[in-house]
Structure 1
Amino acid sequence: MLLPLLWVLAAVAFVGFLAETLRYVLLVLSREDALPGGLVSFSDAAVAFGGWASLAGAAGCGVLMILWTLRIREAAALRSDTVPARSARAVVLGWVVPGLNLAVPGGVLAEVEHLGLDRVPGERPRPGRLLLVWWIAWGLSVVLGVLVFAWSFRGGVQALADGVLLHALLDLVCAVTAVLTVRVVRYLEALVEPTRAVRREILVALP
């Protein structure tokens, strides 16, 4: 359920990026001449759809991602015969509390990767390249989300235009982060829960 929803989030976030880009182009063109009402209405509808669909998709993915994180860390601990470094409550708060969500999610997934690679449990986890790229994208999406929210309280034409660009950038980063999350989920599941080889029975004739 998590992976399909992540793909849906990536798609609607990219639609939001295109819609916000179109809105910015229309804002620039409107300085020189009046725009067709139908085109403006289409732009507004596309922006509204992209924004609300992305918000709903992000909320759904967030809940499923937290549940998946709790499950995968338990599987990693079971595989290595260790105890998770963080409690379930700490993991949940780390995903949702501003500030903590910049560090805790990446740290937890790095611990899962560390155990999945059969490294010494007591050593400090060193996240691989894929996880580092995801961590950067995730942190950027969180920071941009806060910035876009704060920017919405500003007034003026220029602030509106800048806000459209920020929304477009946020949607693009959200789409990229969703795709990277799909790769991270598949990667960690393959490490912690490797697919078992199919056993084939062979009939041997005894003399």
Structure 2
Amino acid sequence: MGPPCPRCGRQAPAGGGPFCPFCGRYLAALRWVAEPPPSATPPRQVPPRARYTGPPRYRLLPRWGFPLGPWTPSDPEPERPDPLVGARTILGSLVPLLWATAAVALLAAGAEVWRYVLLLASRDGALRAETVAASDALVASAGTVAPILTVVVGVLMVLWTVRAAQAAGEHAQVRPSRSTRMIVLGWLVPGLNLSVPGSVLAEIEHSAIGLPAERRPRPSRQVLVWWALWAASAVLTAVVLLWSLRTGVQARADGVVLHAVLDLLAAVTAGVTARLVLRLTRLLAPAAPRRREVLLRVGSASTAPEQPKGLSAPTVSTA
């Protein structure tokens, strides 16, 4: 059977020709396709395949790609700095500056003593202008450098105390009894600076040694000596400041003596402070003991029956 007629819908018999035997409709399906002439579109050119020359090479470092380093979350938690590392870092600058302060304070004390000797000598006669000028220059130089070093050392000492107190609390797994604000105020506020710094250093020593947290801290002799020197220096500083308000020749002469004593006390305090902070930092981070084997003697074969015959057993000691 042929295809149905699209006009009448009857099925044309097979072999009946291209026209419907019933209505005469052309039975072939017509589909019009519009195509451009061959001259309208140029032939498609296939680009030749390039020869492989190896992996890509860059003259400069490419800016694309994954960043170097391990994977990190999008919002990482800020890492809390290690207080012990901070204390040891500050110690590297604090100890040399403390010894420098002690040296300058000794120089200032010597300059004040020299000035006092010149004052005593001036009672019997006139002094040479060069000698007086040299003495004044030495006093002025030492009196300018010493306060600057003292301020720098004071700032570093406060920072070291804060870091050392936090490190001692972590070492003993306890919470520090004083906050950072209280430690700073304890160093700066007159009156409080006579008791708070010594108490904080005693607590640092107590925690660094590993004593029980519930036991009351008992400062060592070194801490007590430093505490006494610090309190005496603070009190004598106030006395010297008040004494400078007095007028008169005798008051100025006594002021020279007080300045010399204060400079000498400051030098001793700086030296003791350097040794104390170094000791406390070493208590917080003790160095690993270094052991080495030393050959003491070579024993006979009878002293080591497990050794083969003819061999001796050396005696080794760990030092």
Q: TM-score range by the shorter chain?
A: over 0.9
TM-score w.r.t. length of structure 1:
0.94
- Map 1:2-17 onto structure 2 (within 5 A): 2-17=94-109
Between the aligned partners of 2:144 and 2:228, the Cα distance in structure 1 is 25
1:123 lines up with 2:226 in the alignment: no
Between the aligned partners of 1:58 and 1:38, the Cα distance in structure 2 is 30
Between the aligned partners of 2:291 and 2:163, the Cα distance in structure 1 is 27
1:105 to 182, 194, 197: 197
SS of residue paired to 1:106: helix
Amino acid at match of 1:104: V
1:147 to 219, 222, 239: 239
1:196 to 266, 273, 288: 288
What is residue 55 of structure 1 aligned with on the other side? 147
Between the aligned partners of 1:199 and 1:19, the Cα distance in structure 2 is 49
Larger radius of gyration: 2
Give the C-alpha shift of residue 122 in structure 1.
1.7
What is residue 79 of structure 1 aligned with on the other side? 171
Change over 3 Å in CA distance of 1:104–1:7 after alignment to 2: same
By percentage of residues, which structure has more helix? 1
Amino acid at match of 2:159: L
Give the C-alpha shift of residue 44 in structure 1.
0.5
- Could you tell which deviates more after superposition, 186-195 or 165-174? 186-195
2:271 to 162, 166, 179: 179
What is residue 51 of structure 2 aligned with on the other side? none
Amino acid at match of 1:87: S
Between the aligned partners of 2:265 and 2:120, the Cα distance in structure 1 is 23
What is residue 165 of structure 1 aligned with on the other side? 257
Q: Is the 8 A contact 1:2 1:65 kept in 2?
A: yes
What is residue 130 of structure 2 aligned with on the other side? 38
TM-score w.r.t. length of structure 2:
0.61
SS of residue paired to 1:122: coil
| 1:148-169 CA distance string (max 9 Å, x none) | 1111110000000000000000
Aligned length: 200
Give the C-alpha shift of residue 199 in structure 1.
9.4
Give the C-alpha shift of residue 198 in structure 1.
6.3
Give the C-alpha shift of residue 197 in structure 1.
4.3
Between the aligned partners of 1:122 and 1:23, the Cα distance in structure 2 is 53
Q: Which has the higher contact order (CA 8 A, sep 6+)?
A: 1
Amino acid at match of 2:207: L
Give the C-alpha shift of residue 76 in structure 1.
0.5
Between the aligned partners of 1:199 and 1:121, the Cα distance in structure 2 is 32
Percent identity among equivalent residues?
51
| 1:63-108 CA distance string (max 9 Å, x none) | 0000000111111101000000001000000001111000000000
Give the C-alpha shift of residue 196 in structure 1.
3.0
What is residue 93 of structure 1 aligned with on the other side? 185
Where does structure 1 differ by over 2 angstroms across 4 or more consecutive aligned residues?
196-200
- Could you tell which deviates more after superposition, 62-71 or 187-196? 187-196
Between the aligned partners of 1:90 and 1:57, the Cα distance in structure 2 is 24
Q: Is the 8 A contact 1:16 1:171 kept in 2?
A: yes
| 1:165-199 CA distance string (max 9 Å, x none) | 00000000000000000110111011111123469
1:24 to 97, 116, 126: 116
5+ residue gaps, structure 2, are: 1-92, 293-319
CA RMSD of aligned residues (A): 1.2
